Amino acid sequence: MRAVIQRVSKCSLSIRNVEYSNIGKGLLVLLGIEESDTAGDVDWLCGKISRLRVFDDVKGVMNLSVLDISGEIMIVSQFTLYASTCKGNRPSYIRSARPETAIPLYEAFIAKIESDLGKKAGTGIFGAHMEINLVNDGPVTILMDSKNRE
């Protein structure tokens, strides 16, 4: 699994020009799933994200997690995170998981994050065309990959 994590002051997601979900201060997680991903990848990545210390403490040092600040998380499926651009100029998405693999893992990821947070996460709809409006706070953007454990 790959994730692009952005610290946000607010974030909203619309489908067909209708707001579907929104969050306040917290994290936007763009989540890519590949065929070889498992429940172990879900557990590892969710644990890292919920404990990721990217929010300022009273001294202005990034020392607090989304849990520490009672923040929110929005999770959006993003198959293009597995784009391969090594040949030509048109990306290949062959490493991205097919829906029959990706949807259950995406749903498990949402359930695990919600369990870790103790509250509902914002989401989109798997496979839908979505528009995301966000205010990246910092800016802070982190890339994570469960296979590389980084």
Establish whether 123 is a catalytic residue.
no
Establish whether 126 is a catalytic residue.
no
Establish whether 80 is a catalytic residue.
yes
Catalytic residue among 6, 55, 79, 123: 79
SS (H, E, C) the chain: CEEEEEEEEEEEEEECCEEEEEECCEEEEEEECECCCCHHHHHHHHHHHHHCCCEECCCCCEEECCCCCCCEEEEEECHHHHCECCCCCCCECCCECCHHHHHHHHHHHHHHHHHHHCCCCEECCCCCCCEEEEEEEEEEEEEEECCCCC
CB 48 within 8 A of CB 150: no
Catalytic residue among 6, 55, 78, 123: 78
Catalytic residue among 6, 38, 55, 80: 80
Query: Which positions are catalytic?
Result: 78-80
